[in-house]
Amino acid sequence: MISMKIFPTLLVVFLSGCLAGAFAQHSPIQLSGWGIDSISRRPIINLQIINKKTGERFFSDNAGYFRVKADREDSLFLTATGYSSKTVSFRDSVYQEKYLVKFYLNKIQIELPNIIVQSNREFDMIRRDALKLGYDKKDYSLHGYQVLQSPITALYQQFSNREKDKRGYAELMNKVHQRELQREILQKYIDTGVINLEQEEISSFLDFCSITEYMLKTSPEYDIALYMKSRFLAFRRQ
């Protein structure tokens, strides 16, 4: 039987251990390291780390290095264009304030069917249209020395509803053209069986996919296909 003199001491030790464990479980940690290609062993430079609890996003730098602050119990979602995704958590790891890690991701292998769809344009033609995309607010206003030469016109452009409508229309049309190109590329992959979507799902998927103007202008077709396929798999897992 436990002595009444020893019992308070044991109770304090027990409660201290519980509090220490709870504190460690919910205390912030710093996670830094690299995403690594599992085959080439090279850093992945387009890695995104998403905190699934808070929605906060972190990105690797040009050397593939990243630094993330989170709570120990948070789940972190790692994703990169052309790679399989991974979810990690440190809730069951020995508690440390800082972790230095390497995460190995596998390249997604996709075999594109050798099917020719005559009704669709070649990707090079779509790329030429993509290079025409772009909205620059400066194109619709005077700036620099032009303001000094015509200050009244500059003030008119700044405050006129008509000029604002003109700029807004140009920006809107750029987004419309971007969406049309996204839809055309996606339709190619639907027609060839790379992606299996119903027509009524296309708009929702394009919103989820978020293909940027920069990607349309610079990424090879194969990289866009890999990215769309990986986002499609994530879209289906929702």
Are 66 and 142 contained in the same domain?
no
CA pair distance 21, 13, nearest whole angstrom: 12
Residue 62 — very low, low, confident or very high, per pLDDT cuts 50/70/90?
A: confident
Are 231 and 134 contained in the same domain?
yes
**Domain final residue, candidates 51, 73, 105:** 105
Q: 63 lies in which domain range?
A: 6-105
Say if 181 falls within a structural domain. yes
Residue from 186, 214, 215, 213 nearest 201 by CA = 186
Are 140 and 232 contained in the same domain?
yes
Instruction: Tell me: pLDDT of 222 over 70.
Output: yes
pLDDT at 159: 46
Instruction: Tell me: pLDDT of 233 over 70.
Output: yes
pLDDT at 134: 62
Residue from 191, 221, 187, 219 nearest 206 by CA = 187
**The total number of structural domains that make up the chain:** 2
pTM of the model: 0.40
Q: What angle do CA 138, 143, 146 make, to 5 degrees?
A: 130
Say if 130 falls within a structural domain. yes
Hey, what amino acid is at 154? Answer: A
Are 21 and 93 contained in the same domain?
yes
Are 100 and 130 contained in the same domain?
no
